[in-house]
A and B are shown apart, each in its own frame.
Chain A
Amino acid sequence: MGLRSYIITRILLTIPTLLLLLSMVFLVMRVLPGDPVALHFEKKATPEQMETMRRLLGLDKPLWTQYIDYLWGLVDFGYFLEHGYPNLGKSMQTYEEVGGQIFSAFPATLELAIYSMIIASVIGILLGVVSSKSYNSILDHLIRGFGTVTYAIPIFLLGMIFQLIFGVYLRWLPTGLRLNPAVDPPASITGLYTIDSLLEGNLFKFFESLKALLLPSLTLGIILSGMFIRMARTNMLETLRLDFVTAAKARGLKESTVTYGYALRNAFLPILTMMGLQFAILLGGAILTETTFSWPGLGRYIVDRINFRDYTAIQGAVVMFGLFVTLVSLVVDILYAYFDPRIRL
């Protein structure tokens, strides 16, 4: 199978997965016991008020009609062209379009996710390789210990510790928000402040947004790096024992060439798969990080909506998280096939 037909098959296979995922979300949010409208008002509304809300949000229709509406909203291309986002229904709190609210919050999460992933993979792969090279030495134990501890720290606790040290005591870095409120955000092109400010040619805004990004992405990155260290270490340990590594050493190649050019390249594929799987964990972590740092992203949105018991908005945000993860795993699989031709056979 060529790369192109692999990609097409993989994309087609995504459709049933997505359908299943969307159905499960619908099942949890609408079919599980617990009427969202009654839950929203916490028994403090008259039946008429509840009926009005049901009618306005389309929750009075039969379940299967709601299900079809819900799926149709996601593929309704005409709506998408008109508004710039898919139809995810209306918020119970404000009766605004949930899709619009989510799409304006999304770039903040994306930016946080990208920087955290970079930090996690750099720390993780470097420390993992060093650890495997010095197997069973003190350095190896220290690095393993670091990895184990990062795994056991609640992410928001690490965030709060950073806020306390760098924000409250040292006053070096902001403890919340994407940008100092005194600075105007850069014109939205990609929605990522660091990139938009560079496109604008404004270095001041670039450094301001980088400063705001530093603590949240360091928090999320360090927590995730534990998994990467472990994955890199185990895979390198297994690879360093293989014959081709011994052969490369015997041929007199430099140690660093053998490690990074030969062994790491071979140990890299499982690490890449791991990155794909980690992405889901990263998004979960992003919810807590965003709450800690008042970061106005999708995670913060979902937590705000929980406090308002806004179930239609929660459902929309959950769907969005699901779509995002599915897309990333699709990209990772395609990358994997590109790097490892055996997958395509």
Chain B
Amino acid sequence: MSKVKIKQSILARLIPRLTSLTKKGPSGWMAILGIIILSALVIMTVIAPWIRPHDPIKTGVGPIRAPPSSQFPMGTNHLGQDMLSRILCGGSIMLQISTLSVLVCFLIGVPLGLFSSYVGGIFDRACSLVIDAIYAFPGLVIAIAIAAMLGPGVVNMALSIAVVYIPSYFRIVRSQVLSIKELTYVEAARASGAKWHTIVFRYIFPNVIPSIVVVATINFADAVLTAAGLTFIGLGVTKDVPDWGWDLTDGRALLSSGTWWVITFPGIMIILLALGFTLIEEGLSELLNPKLQR
């Protein structure tokens, strides 16, 4: 009973927010489109085990490299696996890796940025130096180096991607806190004897949230693409689970025979997943850019 009530109240609060986005012009619509795409992909991945026509792992379900037909709407690959079933089930690895890496980035980058910029001094300078060095480095190269050392696995891949994006969170939080902490209300809080963690987490943190949301959405998109990239160069999770990244990678060897369907469908799925997050990010960052508001 109470659970239903909570759900209703969350929905009741969410819906007006979403509909208010439609009134903000094209940027609002971009964000909504992104949310729709992502919800559809998540729902598809969750219900996939019940709606897939074949076992996605089983080889020889159909003839090898069969083009799309009524029996196999997305064709089959070089092992005779049904591509439609693989597409339906293949999103789970990508979603797990990207969610986990965003979570790690958030849990490390945000507190570190808040703390470092609030405390200032040598600690802040040392942190910034290390973070800037990581930030300047080609992200994929860092991810490759760490993933090669840690070995395969969802957690290891998520960690190697997280290291690349922690700097983005740190930098955005830091630059915001540096300007916020000089504001009068923070000074007032300090003067009235509030503890530092109260000031940082209760008074400063809420003002940084909008920028963090923007960074997190783009981080999601990047994590998806980086995960696909790591898989493409042979550092992917495992071939025993259907994964859009592996399907794309396998499709490369089949290109010269003109087998377009093995890369096309997983490709579209990865694009949609990354696009969903990118659309939200673009919409939000334009809505939140004070310089563009008339």
> Which listed residue, B138, B235, B252, B282, touches A280 by the CB 8 Å rule?
B138
| Assembly CA distance A285 to B228 (angstroms) | 12
Q: Which residue of A lies closest to B294 (CB)?
A: A241
Residue of A nearest to B140 (CB): A284
Q: Which residues of B contact A68 (CB under 8 A)?
A: none
* Inter-chain contact B141/A287, CB cutoff 8 Å: yes
B residues less than 8 Å from A329 (CB atoms): 136
- Given A149-B275, A152-B221, A152-B274, check contact A17 B235 (CB 8 Å): no
Interface size class on chain B is 35 or more
Complex contact A321–B138 (CB within 8 A): yes
User: Separation in Å of the A219 CB from the closest CB of chain B?
Assistant: 13
On whether the beta carbons of A325 and B137 are closer than 8 Å, the reply is yes
- CB of B258 within 8 A of CB of A169, answer yes
B267 within 8 Å of A (CB atoms): yes
Q: How far is the CA of A329 from the CA of B260 in the complex (A)?
A: 40
Contacts of A306 in B (CB 8 A): 144, 148, 233-235
Check if B53 is an interface residue, CB within 8 A of chain A: no
Say whether A10 faces chain B, with CB atoms less than 8 Å apart: no
Let me know if B278 and A154 touch, CB within 8 A.
no
Q: How far is the CA of A306 from the CA of B140 in the complex (A)?
A: 14
Residues 92-138 of A at the B interface (beta carbon under 8 Å): 136
Contacts of B233 in A (CB 8 A): 287-288, 291, 303, 306
Interface residues of B in 249-294 (CB under 8 A from A): 251-252, 255-256, 258, 260, 263, 267, 270-272, 274-275, 278-279, 282, 289, 291-292
Are A154 and B232 within 8 A (Cβ)? yes
Q: Assess the A314–B145 pair: CB atoms within 8 A.
A: yes
Asked if A209 is at the interface of the complex by the 8 Å CB criterion, the answer is: no
Mark the stretch among A20-28, A81-89, A185-193 that contacts chain B. Answer: A20-28
- B155 in contact (CB, < 8 A): no
- Other A-B pairs, 12, CB within 8 Å; known A160-B263, A284-B141, A287-B140: A20-B129, A29-B145, A34-B149, A149-B275, A151-B274, A152-B275, A156-B232, A164-B260, A284-B139, A284-B140, A307-B234, A329-B136
| 22 pairs, A vs B, C-beta closer than 8 Å | A17-B136, A21-B136, A25-B145, A34-B150, A136-B26, A148-B279, A148-B282, A154-B267, A154-B270, A156-B248, A157-B271, A163-B255, A164-B258, A238-B291, A280-B138, A284-B139, A287-B144, A302-B141, A306-B144, A306-B233, A306-B235, A315-B145
B-binding residues in A (CB < 8 A):
16-17, 20-21, 24-25, 28-29, 32, 34, 36, 39, 136, 141, 144, 148-149, 151-157, 160-161, 163-164, 168-169, 175, 230, 234, 237-238, 280-281, 283-285, 287-288, 291-292, 302-303, 306-307, 309, 311, 314-315, 318, 321-322, 325-326, 329
